[in-house]
Amino acid sequence: MDGATPAAKQGDFTGAKLIVFIGDQIVALRRDDTPGIPYPDMLDFPGGGREDGETPATCALREAREEIGLALSEDQIVWSNRLDRDGQISWFFVVHLPAGAEARIVFGNEGRGWSLMDPAEFIARDDAIPHFRDQLAQYLGHRDRKNRDEAGSSRQ
């Protein structure tokens, strides 16, 4: 796994999210508009709360399977990042799937729907969860630096 943070190990965390790229777009979920839930009716990524004994990656992959029907594996994760917000630890992961993989999505029973979205649009949207926008921007910066470094080393 190539990421900002070493491979996610077992530890204290509340939940995990998976940023799923399909081609050059991301899977964005629309949260339920239910009173009392965090960030109602906002754009979200697949993911959720930890269940007994899960690692961060296992949590994110299970949630993606439940929410969008994609069975993914840890070896598909290309980036991970641990986020501490006021003592609440969560993890963010990224996977890349080929264009057309959206045909495999089966939307679960949480949320109001899903769509494919340009990552820059997600980052710019006021209705996207703010710290999720930040995580996506952080990943894109990492990816762009890595691509520049690889391009520079291939010219030498």
- 58-88: b or e for each residue (b if 16 or more CB lie within 10 Å)? bbbbbbbbebbebebebebbbbbbbbeeeee
98 burial level (CB within 10 Å; 0-12, 13-18, 19+)? exposed
Q: Report the CATH number that the domain containing residue 55 is assigned in CATH.
A: 3.90.79.10
Q: Is residue 155 part of a domain?
A: no
What does the alpha-carbon distance between residue 51 and residue 31 come to, in Å, rounded to a whole number?
20
Kindly tell me if the per-residue pLDDT of 8 is higher than 60. no
**What's residue 149's pLDDT?**
87
Task: Please tell me the predicted confidence (pLDDT) of residue 31.
Answer: 97
Q: Is residue 3 part of a domain?
A: no
Please report which confidence band the pLDDT of residue 7 belongs to, taking 50, 70 and 90 as the band edges.
very low
Alpha carbon 51 to its chain centroid, in Å, reads 18
Q: What pLDDT does residue 144 have?
A: 92
Specify the pTM.
Answer: 0.90
Number of domains in the chain: 1
pLDDT value of residue 119: 98
For residue 4, being part of any structural domain is answered with: no
pLDDT category, 52, cuts 50, 70, 90? confident
Tell me, what's the pLDDT at 39? 95
Residue 30 forms part of a structural domain = yes
Q: Give percent of the chain above pLDDT 70.
A: 92
Q: What is the pLDDT of residue 91?
A: 96
**Structure tokens belonging to residue 16:** 């995990």
Query: 81: domain range?
Result: 15-148
| Residue of 77, 59, 66, 58 lying closest to 20 (CA atoms) | 77
- pLDDT of 3 higher than 80: no
Upper half-sphere CA count for residue 97 (Cβ side, 13 Å): 20
121 located within any domain: yes
119 closest CA partner among 45, 57, 32: 45
Phi and psi at residue 120, to the nearest 5°: -65, -35
The residue among 60 and 3 whose pLDDT is bigger is 60
The position carrying tokens 């906002």 is 42
Q: What's the whole-number mean pLDDT along residues 37-55? A: 94
Report how far residue 148's alpha carbon sits from residue 133's, in angstroms, rounded to the nearest whole number: 23
Nearest to 92 by CA among 76, 102, 105, 79: 79
Residue 116, domain member (yes or no)? yes
